[in-house]
Chain A
Amino acid sequence: MSDRSILARSAADVAADIVAGVLPTTAALDACRDAATSVQVGPEGLNAALWFDAAHARESLTSASMHGALAGIPVAVKDNIATLRMPTTCGSRMLEGYVSPFEATVVARLHAAGAVIPMKTNMDEFAMGSSTENSAWGPTKHPMDPARVPGGSSGGSAAVVAAGVTRIALGSETGGSVRQPAAFCGIVGVKPTYGRVSRHGLVAFASSLDQVGVFGQSVDDAALGLQVIAGVDPLDSTTVDAPVADYRATRDITGDRPLAGVVVGRPLEYFPASLDPAMRALLDRAADTLRALGAEIRDVSLPHTDLAIPVYYIVAPAEASSNLARFDGVRYGLRVDDGDGLRGMYEATRSRGFGPEVTRRILLGTYVLSAGYYDAYYKRAMAVRRLITDDFARVFASGVHVLLTPTTPTTAFLAGTKKDPYEMYLSDIFTATANLAGVPAMSQPIGRIEGLPVGGQLLAAQFDEATMFRVAYALERALGEEAHR
């Protein structure tokens, strides 16, 4: 029987003990395996893990580097990130059984740091969704209330971290798919600056928006995970060769006013009159806490915020319609050949391989790119995207270091209650802006409403994750247990 208390300690501390020989190399993995069994991460329970292979992960530990920052630490990986040993299906029948012949750069970097990957996690099909109800392998349940959704699209990764099975997990972000489930599940979720982390081996959804993100049980777990995977990659020409700061440098800074000199902007557009008063109160408390830590709180405006969802749901489906054209029955996975010729094979394969939400978005994307509608929809959306990006640039150029907003408009909702696609899309209303503008953003727990977690979102200027983590560490320490009640 393993020592489950290991999972209550930070990943950095446990890795350090494994490197020092204080803990056996398999200690964290064994604790993860037992926790996975206990909370039932498979289809009989949360349905958060699609594949779980602790035995092979344990074998790999003997040969893995035991000197890295994640030595012996199990990390769960979303099912749209390529791994060699387990399938990569993107939650879709289209890729049922597909095993990649290469691994994602982020996975290689995890391995190089000594991490083990015992599981691939459930997700909305091709990362299209905000609830993890759209997976071909069934919905993932919220670890605190099985009637509710964990958020999405990286709901499986969020659920395993929130359930205490791993300290760190990888997800992917296109419009909020790490931050929104992190908020719903009461954990930390980070979307890095576009270009900060390699997308090589991340199955493309919307290439100008996609980034690999990190979940952590604490700010430090998330910072450590990002530290390991960040940096330029010759296999992804959109990564940027900018220095990667020490994201954990400010973890131990205490004192009365650790945020003296930091300006925290509060964008008015993220606090509409319709915002739940209980959520507003928790954000006010977070702002008061930051002020008490020495930060200046400044009201600011990002005037094009309310256009983010219309822009996002033109740009993302447009890019998806192109990226998903490769799934045609010839090159990957499923092939349905009813003897109706080449075109018939394409259509039959794609119709049976894709679920309803993916089909809807491919059609929407194809429509907005088609002759007669391109200028009215896609070109105009790209222009408004630039206005949204300029809003952020202007605010950060004015001396604001980070922004504080709610991560989501509501807490975790009941499964099956959002039938209208656009109503579901509005779940991303506070998160999609960061993807459109390419800025880093993260969600961390700031309290609860009727027992359900609420996330506070911090956003920073491009490539300034370090300041974002500095504020997050201080807020986490100051809120203490209040963040979870």
Chain B
Amino acid sequence: MGGSDVAVSEDDVRHVAALARLGLDGDRVQSLVGELNRILEHMDVLQQVDIRGASLDPDAAHGLRMREDVPNPIPLHREREAFAPAMRDGFFLVPRLATHGTAARGDDEGDE
């Protein structure tokens, strides 16, 4: 795989920006195409590396230490009410989105 095979297009930037929930205007999309391609060019060297000796299996010696699967509260230094903007019946109240009522127009459709 060479650099030309993976060249990032404007569509790629828009697609990735949508996955990352980033709004970009047209000029920024264009400049990012150039920036990302210039950065990714430098990554092509990795394709030449012989990785047959590189194990990706978790190494037991460096594995995560497991703890008992019991929930522990985060030790907050203030009551939740002290930093939450508003609470009711033990739940956080968050501001209503201006158009929350119309949000069911495909906003949460699946993305890869």
Contact = CB atoms under 8 A, between A and B. Distances in A.
Interface of A: 84, 99, 101-103, 234-235, 237-238, 240-241, 304, 306-307, 309-311, 313-314, 321, 325, 328, 330, 335, 337-348, 350-351, 354, 359-360, 362-364, 366-367, 370-371, 373, 376-377, 379-384, 386-387, 390, 420-422, 425, 438
Given A99-B83, A321-B20, A387-B54, 17 more contacts: A101-B82, A234-B67, A235-B75, A310-B43, A314-B43, A328-B21, A337-B98, A339-B98, A341-B100, A341-B102, A344-B99, A363-B16, A376-B6, A377-B43, A380-B51, A384-B49, A386-B55
B107 A343 contact: yes
A8 B47 CA distance: 52
B64 interface: yes
Given A234-B67, A341-B107, A422-B38, A363 B22 contact: yes
Contacts of A351: 22-24
Contacts of B76: 101-102
A310 B46 contact: yes
B26 interface: no
Interface in B29-66: 32, 35-36, 38-40, 42-43, 45-47, 49, 51, 53-56, 62, 64-66
22 contacts: A84-B77, A99-B83, A101-B82, A234-B67, A235-B74, A304-B49, A311-B46, A321-B20, A325-B20, A328-B21, A339-B98, A343-B21, A343-B103, A345-B97, A348-B23, A350-B20, A351-B22, A364-B40, A371-B112, A376-B6, A381-B46, A422-B39
Contact of B36 (A363, A371, A425): A363
Contacts of B107: 341-343
A108 to B, nearest CB: 9
Contacts of A359: 22, 24
B64 A420 contact: no
Given A384-B54, A386-B54, A387-B53, A101 B6 contact: no
A147 to B, nearest CB: 26
Nearest to B32: A363
Interface residues on B, range: 35 or more
Nearest to B82: A101
Nearest to A321: B20
A350 B28 CA distance: 14
A235 B99 CA distance: 39
Contacts of A371: 112
Contacts of B15: 370
A contacts with B: majority SS: helix
A209 to B, nearest CB: 14
Contacts of B75: 102, 235
A383 B77 contact: no
Contacts of B112: 370-371
B105 interface: yes
Contacts of A335: 95
Contact of B56 (A241, A363, A367, A382): A382
A350 B42 contact: no
B88 interface: no
A313 B43 contact: yes
Contacts of B49: 304, 307, 380, 383-384, 387
A325 B111 CA distance: 14
Nearest to B105: A341
A238 B65 CA distance: 7
Given A237-B64, A341-B105, A383-B54, A346 B45 contact: no
